[in-house]
Amino acid sequence: MEKNNEIVMSVQGLSKVFKSGILNPEYTVAAKDISFDIEKGKIISLIGESGSGKTTVGKLILKLIKLSEGEIIYKGKNISEIEDKEETKEYYRRVQGIFQDPFATFNPLYRVDRVFDMIFDSFELGFEDKDQAIRDALYDVNLNPDRTLGKFPHQLSGGQLQRLLIARALLMDVDVLIADELISMLDASTRIGVLNLLVESCKKHGMAVIFITHDLNLGYYISDKSLIMYKGRLVERGDTKKIYENATHPYTQMLFEAVPEIGERWDPDEEFLPEQVVKDVKEFYQENEGKGFVEIEEDHSVLFSDK
């Protein structure tokens, strides 16, 4: 693999703590000390269980929530310093996201066309014919424009809404795309098609994609780099192949054991205890106390202890 790839965005020491309540504040650490680089045209998958802070990282990059510590550098500029209207616009012109829940992403009072109207209103996308561009993008994601445009969100299925959002992202031709649980709503037959379309777009336009997912198979299929998150910490980072071949952190190992395989049926005698992982991770941290985040081989780092 080539080194010295062009880095479009760099995330350094990112932390986010949520505070709730005033008289007795309760603090929730959603993400702690997360660092990684996003390279041009590369696909990164961010893998972790529900509540591990994956979506929070995505939202931080999209500037939807304020970060508590650390910085995100995009084109040499700290994004939390972007406050000016024009600059924000410029940022969103190049950094976009697709959210987890397609039903919630559409304002129920408006027809679905609004998501396209908004980007054409805000940005200079450089298409001669707006309608034709939208139709082409819809055909690309396997949707029939005549049967989707002009509909209300509740009249379409989750998969169709999801693909409308993908079409929207493709129209924008961005540098960084945050795709949160992108294909969870798509049926098996269109899944591969849409994935390939995205990969193709990455390679052609140099778009970097962060796939936020809990699906290891998908991560392996698509990504160049993987980030494994557990309880708000980045526990393993590096080249996808290296992580998959040499999973070191106990949580990552557990993830691999938990993947169901075709041709293998569920075994009632096999015990699977989620609590076991918590214990394993604790022991692992104790054994390696003081080591911290270490690069164990080229382009593969593991968190050995949480202090």
Partner 1 sequence: MFKDFWSKHENIYYALTNKKVIFGLTIVALVFMLAAFGPMLTPYEYGEYAGEGYLPPSGDHFFGTTIDGRDVFTRTVYGLRSTLLVGAIAGTVATLVGCIIGFLAGYYGGSIFDELLMMLTNIFVVIPQLALLIVIAAFLEVRGVIIMAFIVSLTAWPWTARAVRSQTLSLKNQEYVSLSRISALSVGRILREDIASNMFSYVFMVFIQQFNGTMLATVQLEFLGLGPTKGISLGLVMQNAVNWNGIQLGMWWWAIIPGLILTILITALYFVNTGLDAAFNPRLREM
Residues of this chain that bind partner 1 (CB under 8 A): 20, 22, 59, 62, 64, 85, 88-89, 92-93, 96-97, 99-101, 104-110, 115, 118-119, 121-123, 152, 154-155
- From the CB of 181, what's the least distance to partner 1, in Å? 12
- From the CB of 239, what's the least distance to partner 1, in Å? 30
- From the CB of 99, what's the least distance to partner 1, in Å? 5
- From the CB of 183, what's the least distance to partner 1, in Å? 17
Supply 229's token pair: 């998150």
**194: helix, strand or coil:** helix
Strand 208-213, strand 293-297: pairing: unpaired
Smaller CB separation from partner 1, 154 or 265: 154
Smaller CB separation from partner 1, 114 or 282: 114
> How far apart (Å, rounded) are the C-alpha atoms in residues 126 and 118?
15
- From the CB of 187, what's the least distance to partner 1, in Å? 22
∠ Cα 155 156 162 (to 5°): 150
Smaller CB separation from partner 1, 27 or 152: 152
178: Cβ contacts below 8 Å, ≥ 6 apart: 58, 61, 62, 95, 96, 97, 98, 210, 212
- Which CA distances in Å does 277 have to 107, 228, 251? 40, 15, 6
Smaller CB separation from partner 1, 118 or 258: 118
> How far apart (Å, rounded) are the C-alpha atoms in residues 166 and 184?
13
> How far apart (Å, rounded) are the C-alpha atoms in residues 35 and 290?
19
Smaller CB separation from partner 1, 87 or 297: 87
